[in-house]
Structure 1
Amino acid sequence: MKNIKCNLLSILLLMIAISCKKEKQAALILPEANQWILDSMKVYYYWNEQLPKQPEPNNSASLFFQGLRYSADRFSYMEDPAANTTEYSSFAYYGFEYALVQMPAFPGRIFGTVTLVVPNGPAAKKGLKRGDLFSAVNGIEINSSSSNAIKQLLKQGANISLQTLKVVNDQLISGPLFSISYSYFREQPVYLTKIFSNGNKKTGYIFYNNFNDEFDRNILDSIAKFKNKGIKDLILDLRYNPGGAVSSAAKVAAAVVSVNEGEIFLVSQANKNGGRFTDSFGQTIAKGSSLPRTFAEVINSRISIEKLFVLTSSATASSAELLINNLKPYLNVVQIGEKTIGKDMSSFEIYDQRVPKKIMYVLHPLIFKLYNSKLQGDYSAGLVPDYFADEFSTLPLKEFGDKEEILLKKALEVSLGTSPIISSKVASNKVAPILSANTKAVFQSSFARSTTMSPISFGRGKTGLDFKSNKK
């Protein structure tokens, strides 16, 4: 009897072992691409410890990747080179941004308003201007039922027509019809520089729309122009800036604060496999791919200021947010406008490095949390302004650089204390504003573009980190 019990126990234990082995084997059976994705995420993903223990099997690699993302992750994404992407944005195709707004003066209606026009872009060449209102696209009137269709039309790249409106005695009447076609253009990210004065103090202003390192000399030259002009404060307009190169942000920072090459600009925190590393101003600048690439060259453009005012909106993202946060240990930074988008992390491309390559997908998972030299960061909910200002509170929108433009007006009030005397000519909308104190923007193309653009990206070979696993 004792032998029978032992045999039964042995059989039971063997069955349990076999069952566990089968379950373990079953859990590992994934399509090759999905297994590669999972293995890569286990090594590099910031939230690798929150990856699901038993990932939901899915034949779609894209859906499998989405299923791995942590709940707080808004920006990790995966590229499929085989996908045929034709939808981009009104900015990419036509060189303008817009918002859809509701105005109390016209209940039940939705209007479009142009928020930005790229100088020398397709829309600018047709005469479209910031502040222009429009009621229809390709003959389709904008309303709650058609707004999604309107958004689609404006990101497909086909020829479009905008029916604009004029404001006459607080009434809207039909204006010119603008027909715009796609044509290639390059955005030069510095749109405008100006100097304002109250008679005793001067404040500089720059509208800067992208940390594109190909134009680093342009932004540095724009800053350098303020040398010997006697400005005390600088206003940097980043309201629609979606980010870009970290090296460009470091160059702008080094040009407006008195720091040494070796002082810390950036602290990057990875998961346990990667750890933490710091980059000085000099190191961050040197990692850029465009000239100038040395700290010594950059500080030739340096100016001395007391305060930096940064104008922001819900579309301000990535390197633009990094600049604000990482300058704070060194300079009095005053943020005016709206809360930013909250891209406080960075990534690098993960791709199959085997020869021959077996997996075509390219991963862009969030890998690093970014901090300043005082380890301040964690602004995934957005950077909150010191002074709140809503540019849509009164329409039509004023041109950038107009002293009456809502965000700039507030910055000048804080900086100069009184109404400024403009030291150079400024273009201004001539029409009287609609008296609509509670105008509400229900959609902003600039926010949509900043959301879909890549998070801050480091070159994989430039991170200075050695993750503790075989690289995928």
Structure 2
Amino acid sequence: MKKITLSLTLLTLLILTSCSKDRDDELAPLAELEIENFIYNGMQLYYLYKPEIPQLGNTFFESTADLNTYLSGFAGPEDLFYNGLVADVDRFSFLSDDYRDLENSFAGVTKTSGIDYGLALDRNDPNFAFAYVRYVMPNTSASQNGVTRGMLFNTINAERLTTTANGDGTYSLSARSRELLNLDSYTIALAEFDSNEDLQPTGVSIDLVQEEYTENPVFIAKTLDINGSKIGYLMYNAYRRNFDSDLNAAFAQFQADGVTDLVLDLRYNGGGSVETAIDLTSMITGQFNGEIITQQQWNPEIQAAFEADDPESLIDRFDNTISDGSAINSLNLSRLFVIGTGSTASASELTIIGLQPYIDVQTVGTTTVGKFQASITLYDSETFRRNDETLNPRHFYAIQPLVYTYANANGVVGPPAGITPDFELREDISNLGTLGEADEPLLSLALDQILGRSYASKNKSGTVFETFGERKNQTATYQRMYIEALPNYVK
């Protein structure tokens, strides 16, 4: 087996949605173990947890024949990846059998009716579930048919939403219910809570159609004028590089409005592009250009190569331009209030952790996910890049392994259990409020801190429903943080 030697050259930007030409769907025949060898080689070179997988050791196999014997012991690429090469501590590396779908997901392109929903267990029978509408995307079937935040539904096409017990006390949506939610068209039947907070049908049904849709993550950007205080509110739902200009434009408006405080609402933001997260921290501040935000830690071999040849490439710094070269619109804030929940992960948490050494960051809501590793898309080519002329024309597989973790400028690594809130308040499914309005419970709690108001009365006693999922956990990029700059190594 040809051994891999690491020699660091240059960091080269690779935009995942490369303009390189897609191939026809009719693929040439694959050689035996062709996909498995690609997966193994990518993981063997870049995987963060390589030291924990003995088979990824550089001298573990004495020959190519020995390696292929190992690879042939798995039922296929998925079995090899998840059961042979991913460490037990790794919850986030994944395999895609069609990187075109993966790239669309990174760009916010999905098939949707326009409902972003959360899932909760029926409190009387955990074999059943209900969905609650968290927000509705504009210009979609849901928005056109009157679906609004706070609506509840527990049937699709007259079938109840059901769950599957995972064996560890947790639940997932059943395969049949996922199938119903993925239909091109379906009918939801609305429900409501009665006086005992049990679900009862309302008799109202809504027909929905799912179509391909590109979701702008800059969902709400507005300035609140409260007793003369100009407070910016930004609901940001994903870190997507192709919407950086929209994000920057929102901050230009905050500048023009004279905003002196900002509430950054990341309650449903599972993360995304590291580069966009760096830009967002720079928009919030501006006075720390060039200072360290995060310091990367790769697997030992790549880390050593970086440290020897290009230690600066391990550091992410505040910057003053977005991806298209436009100047960043900065607010120069000295404090920030962030709304976070159990759906807040990865690049969202990087924003919080990265800013903490520089400004006062206070969080409102519930504990975040605790995901502090970045991944990269690896394609089957000599450089593992999409735009390489050697890109394999015989399949569409790609892998998305974790490649580094990070610490902030003070050396603080995010806690695996998540970031605990400074001011705790759980979303009340029976009283979600209107996003962006000053009386919406979580925003109101953040405003209390800014304006020095009492907040004790915000806590409401009542039924707490066990939530267990959301629309986004059915997407490939759910709670993933990724980089678009792949180190260039020579094998």
Normalising by the residue count of structure 1, what TM-score does the alignment of the two structures yield?
0.76
Aligned positions of 1:429-444 closer than 5 A: 437-444=462-469
RMSD: 3.4
Q: Distance in 2 between matches of 1:77 and 1:110?
A: 27
Structure 2 residue 186 is matched with structure 1 residue 148: no
- CA deviation vs aligned residue, 1:71-128 (integer Å, no higher than 9, x gap): 110111122239999xx99974212122333576x78874331112112222111110
Q: Distance in 2 between matches of 1:48 and 1:406?
A: 44
Contact 1:52-1:68 within 8 A present in 2 as well: no
Question: Residues 147 and 272 (structure 1 numbering): CA distance in 2 closer, same or farther, change over 3 Å?
Answer: closer
Structure 2 residue 62 is matched with structure 1 residue 46: no
Contact 1:75-1:366 within 8 A present in 2 as well: yes
Structure 2 residue 39 is matched with structure 1 residue 37: yes
Higher mean displacement: 185-194 or 167-176 = 167-176
Deviation at 1:266, TM superposition (A): 2.8
Question: Residues 154 and 400 (structure 1 numbering): CA distance in 2 closer, same or farther, change over 3 Å?
Answer: farther
Question: Residues 192 and 442 (structure 1 numbering): CA distance in 2 closer, same or farther, change over 3 Å?
Answer: closer
Structure 2 residue 117 is matched with structure 1 residue 98: yes
Contact 1:101-1:439 within 8 A present in 2 as well: no
Aligned to 1:269: 297
Aligned to 1:158: 184
Deviation at 1:368, TM superposition (A): 1.0
Structure 2 residue 399 is matched with structure 1 residue 363: yes
Given the alignment, which residue of 386, 389, 393 partners 2:425? 389
Aligned to 2:248: 220
Contact 2:376-2:403 within 8 A present in 1 as well: yes
Equivalent position amino acid for 1:366 in 2: L
Higher mean displacement: 333-342 or 56-65 = 56-65
Q: Distance in 2 between matches of 1:267 and 1:233?
A: 28
Aligned to 2:139: 120
Question: Residues 46 and 203 (structure 1 numbering): CA distance in 2 closer, same or farther, change over 3 Å?
Answer: same
- CA deviation vs aligned residue, 1:217-263 (integer Å, no higher than 9, x gap): 22222222223545432101111112222222222211111334322
- CA deviation vs aligned residue, 1:286-316 (integer Å, no higher than 9, x gap): 6x3xx3x25xx10xx2224342111111111
Higher mean displacement: 33-42 or 405-414 = 33-42
Question: Residues 436 and 90 (structure 1 numbering): CA distance in 2 closer, same or farther, change over 3 Å?
Answer: farther
Q: Distance in 2 between matches of 1:185 and 1:83?
A: 15
Aligned to 1:179: 207
Contact 1:198-1:419 within 8 A present in 2 as well: no
Structure 2 residue 97 is matched with structure 1 residue 80: yes
Deviation at 1:438, TM superposition (A): 2.6
Question: Residues 154 and 309 (structure 1 numbering): CA distance in 2 closer, same or farther, change over 3 Å?
Answer: farther
Given the alignment, which residue of 67, 76, 80 partners 1:60? 76
Contact 1:352-1:359 within 8 A present in 2 as well: no
Q: Distance in 2 between matches of 1:319 and 1:207?
A: 15
Given the alignment, which residue of 222, 228, 243 partners 1:194? 222
Given the alignment, which residue of 416, 421, 434 partners 1:380? 416
Aligned positions of 1:6-45 closer than 5 A: 31-45=33-47
Computing the radius of gyration from Cα coordinates, the structure with the larger value is 1
Structure 2 residue 319 is matched with structure 1 residue 282: yes
Q: Distance in 1 between matches of 2:359 and 2:475?
A: 26
Aligned to 1:332: 360
Contact 2:240-2:276 within 8 A present in 1 as well: yes
- CA deviation vs aligned residue, 1:127-147 (integer Å, no higher than 9, x gap): 101101223221123466896
SS at match of 2:302: coil
Q: Distance in 1 between matches of 2:194 and 2:53?
A: 58
Q: Distance in 1 between matches of 2:86 and 2:125?
A: 41
Equivalent position amino acid for 1:115 in 2: R
Q: Distance in 2 between matches of 1:40 and 1:107?
A: 45
Aligned to 1:16: none
Deviation at 1:40, TM superposition (A): 2.8
Aligned to 1:343: 371
Contact 2:238-2:269 within 8 A present in 1 as well: yes
Contact 2:117-2:131 within 8 A present in 1 as well: yes
Equivalent position amino acid for 1:95 in 2: G
Q: Distance in 2 between matches of 1:378 and 1:59?
A: 36
Q: Distance in 1 between matches of 2:42 and 2:153?
A: 47
Deviation at 1:185, TM superposition (A): 2.7
Given the alignment, which residue of 412, 418, 434 partners 1:399? 434
Contact 2:162-2:173 within 8 A present in 1 as well: yes
Count of residues in correspondence between the two structures: 410
Aligned to 2:448: 413
Question: Residues 232 and 143 (structure 1 numbering): CA distance in 2 closer, same or farther, change over 3 Å?
Answer: same
Higher mean displacement: 165-174 or 122-131 = 165-174
Question: Residues 83 and 226 (structure 1 numbering): CA distance in 2 closer, same or farther, change over 3 Å?
Answer: closer
Normalising by the residue count of structure 2, what TM-score does the alignment of the two structures yield?
0.73
Question: Residues 84 and 344 (structure 1 numbering): CA distance in 2 closer, same or farther, change over 3 Å?
Answer: closer
Structure 2 residue 461 is matched with structure 1 residue 453: no
- CA deviation vs aligned residue, 1:415-434 (integer Å, no higher than 9, x gap): 212279xxxxxxxxxxxxxx
Contact 1:103-1:439 within 8 A present in 2 as well: no
Equivalent position amino acid for 1:123 in 2: A
Question: Residues 356 and 411 (structure 1 numbering): CA distance in 2 closer, same or farther, change over 3 Å?
Answer: closer
Equivalent position amino acid for 1:395 in 2: S
Aligned positions of 1:129-148 closer than 5 A: 129-142=148-161, 148=174
Contact 2:231-2:260 within 8 A present in 1 as well: yes
Equivalent position amino acid for 1:278 in 2: I
Deviation at 1:456, TM superposition (A): 2.4
Question: Residues 90 and 439 (structure 1 numbering): CA distance in 2 closer, same or farther, change over 3 Å?
Answer: farther
Equivalent position amino acid for 1:113 in 2: Y
Question: Residues 92 and 83 (structure 1 numbering): CA distance in 2 closer, same or farther, change over 3 Å?
Answer: closer
Contact 2:362-2:422 within 8 A present in 1 as well: yes
Higher mean displacement: 177-186 or 225-234 = 225-234
Contact 1:91-1:97 within 8 A present in 2 as well: no
Higher mean displacement: 129-138 or 159-168 = 159-168
Q: Distance in 1 between matches of 2:101 and 2:408?
A: 39
Q: Distance in 2 between matches of 1:47 and 1:452?
A: 20
Q: Distance in 1 between matches of 2:231 and 2:391?
A: 58
Equivalent position amino acid for 1:157 in 2: L
